[in-house]
Amino acid sequence: MSKTLLLMGPLFEATMTTLESSYTVKRYWDAKNQSDLLNSIADDCVGVVTDGGRGVSNDILKQLPNVRVISVFGVGVDAIDLEYCKSANISVGNTPDVLSDDVADLAVALALATCRQVVNGDQYARQGLWPKQGAMPLTVRMMGKKAGIYGMGSIGTCLAKRLTGFDMQVSYCNRSEKAGSPYKFVASLEALAADADFLFITAAATAGTIGAVNQQVLDALGKNGYLINVSRGTLVDEPAMVNSLVNKTIAGAGLDVFHDEPAIPDALLTLDNVVLQPHNASGTWETRQAMGDLMLENLQCHFDNKPLTASVV
């Protein structure tokens, strides 16, 4: 009999197909009665598969005492209590690196879309305003400006490489300075924001980073500064950000992530200095396939009693 796994939510189709052909997969989100489902697999379930946003709660894990592995389809593990997993002897694997290029691409796309008003320009063209009103309002250049990257991990590094292609001066703030990095290290996020035209958020959501982009940081970014977030909504004080955008004390924002996904604050939906994405930075066929492969590989490693290829705990 194949091993029983709990799948918290839908994943990339091809990954689900492989997963379901190799394991007995119980679909949590699809269950009519989730509590009955957990009871029915309490003894058999040996692993959980989930994505970065959903994670899995301790409450669910406590009802599945034989779970020894959580394989995350995503790099972020902030929706999982890692300390609890350590204490309960549960390994956690994720999918770092394979998504970094696409996330960095989307960060660049959001930055350009925001300062160059790509979405507003599209609307201007579609609504027939060009022949009626002439050229659309002028926009702001990205090339040659100052970029601050908060979080110089794999995604931040891919992003920095792209931004240098736009002749941008790149500085970064990170837990620690990266030895040999060609970019300028700035110890304080507020100081990074104060000196940046574009502040990019690429840090993982941890106790040390959640809420880091607060009112002071937004004020330091200032009325000509753009905020681009492809990490987690929780890194930003969302009400403070919304106020700053409404009052134009920052110039604009390109946002892929939000506090209470999939909810987006109403105020953001009406602002024209904001470009929004539905948490889709890793959403390409290529990256989702690679994430799925790594997620499956982590599971396989666990069941083969080998170290996970990408292990968090």
* 88-117 residues near ligand 8YV, rule: CB under 6 A: 99
Which two tokens mark 278? 């539905």
Q: H-helix or E-strand containing 149?
A: strand 146-150
Which of 6, 8, 38, 76 lies at the binding interface for ligand 8YV (CB under 6 A)? Answer: 76
The neighbouring-strand residues paired with 13 are none
Q: Applying CB under 6 A, which part among 14-22, 56-64, 74-82, 174-182 lies near ligand 8YV?
A: 74-82
Residue 279 among the catalytic residues = yes
248 Rama sector, left if φ>0, alpha if ψ -120 to 50, beta otherwise: left
Catalytic option among 54, 190, 232, 288: 232
Contacts of 303 (CB under 8 A, 6+ apart): 3, 69
Asked if residues 64 and 45 have their Cβ atoms less than 8 Å apart, the reply is: yes
- Does the footprint of ligand 8YV cover residue 74 (CB under 6 A)? yes
Burial of 269 (0-12, 13-18, 19+ CB in 10 A): exposed
Q: How far is CA 255 from the centre of its chain?
A: 10
Q: Applying CB under 6 A, which part among 41-49, 70-78, 109-117, 144-152 lies near ligand 8YV?
A: 70-78
Shortest Cβ 308–ligand 8YV spacing (Å)? 16
Q: Applying CB under 6 A, which part among 67-75, 116-124, 243-251, 301-309 lies near ligand 8YV?
A: 67-75
Asked if residues 227 and 201 have their Cβ atoms less than 8 Å apart, the reply is: yes
Number of H helices, E strands in the chain: 13, 12
Shortest Cβ 97–ligand 8YV spacing (Å)? 11
Which of 8, 45, 51, 268 lies at the binding interface for ligand 8YV (CB under 6 A)? Answer: 51
Which of 15, 114, 282, 298 lies at the binding interface for ligand 8YV (CB under 6 A)? Answer: 282
- Does the footprint of ligand 8YV cover residue 197 (CB under 6 A)? no
SS3 42: coil
Shortest Cβ 271–ligand 8YV spacing (Å)? 24
Which of 6, 41, 52, 90 lies at the binding interface for ligand 8YV (CB under 6 A)? Answer: 52
Contacts of 263 (CB under 8 A, 6+ apart): none
Residues interacting with ligand 8YV, by CB under 6 A? 51-53, 73-76, 99, 279, 282
Active-site annotation, residues: 232, 261, 279
